[in-house]
Amino acid sequence: MTNQVYDFKVNRIDGTPSTLAEYKGQVLLVVNVASKCGLTPQYEGLEKLYEEYKNKGLTVVGFPANEFMGQEPGTNEEIAEFCRVTFGVQFPMFQKVVVKGDGQHPLYKFLTDAAPEATLKAGGTLEARLREKGLGRTQKKDVLWNFEKFLVDKKGQVVGRFAPDVTAEDDVLLKSVQDQLQKT
């Protein structure tokens, strides 16, 4: 069993086999993303965060997922094109993965086991609204929805998890990122 995110096999959005090991020594923000979600505009903030902090040691990594009302129906090629054209995404994107339930990717099992609860948006009601519509999670540690974020320190350890409605601009996420970047 691994205790770092670096050991999991993933494929880049173009299909190239990879791992997250190339990001050793950097702070990672791992995000499950979707192109047809009400939260999709978060791509813009994630890209701005990446651009602002990439030279200071932050890498945002996106993993498209289609578990939430089929909001990521496209092929990997279509997803890459959408992200590039619509939001100018430059941060690394990986192929579509399963983030909860049957077939959950081992990376996401590791992430959710390491951080079973997310920091919620102050005053946020996303989970309650989803539950009212019968879309709540079945297990507390499940990823709630698209754009849930996991913060990984420079040693590959999960040090934070943020609910989908906690945006890249949110003070609680920004402070956590900045704190991790300052650590040696």
Residues 56-81: pLDDT tens digits?
Answer: 999 999 999 999 999 999 999 999 99
Report yes or no: 57 and 180 within 8 Å, Cβ to Cβ: no
- Write the CA distances from 19 to 11, 38, 95, 163, integer angstroms: 8, 30, 12, 25
pTM of the model: 0.95
**CB 65 within 8 Å of CB 33:** yes
Which among 6, 24, 37, 45 is annotated as catalytic?
37
Residue type, 102: D
Could you state, in order of their start, the residue ranges of all structural domains in the chain?
Answer: 5-182
In CATH, what number does 5-182 get? Answer: 3.40.30.10
- Would residue 83 show up in a list of annotated catalytic residues for this protein? no
Spatial strand order of the sheet with 149-152 comes to 58-64, 27-33, 149-152, 158-162
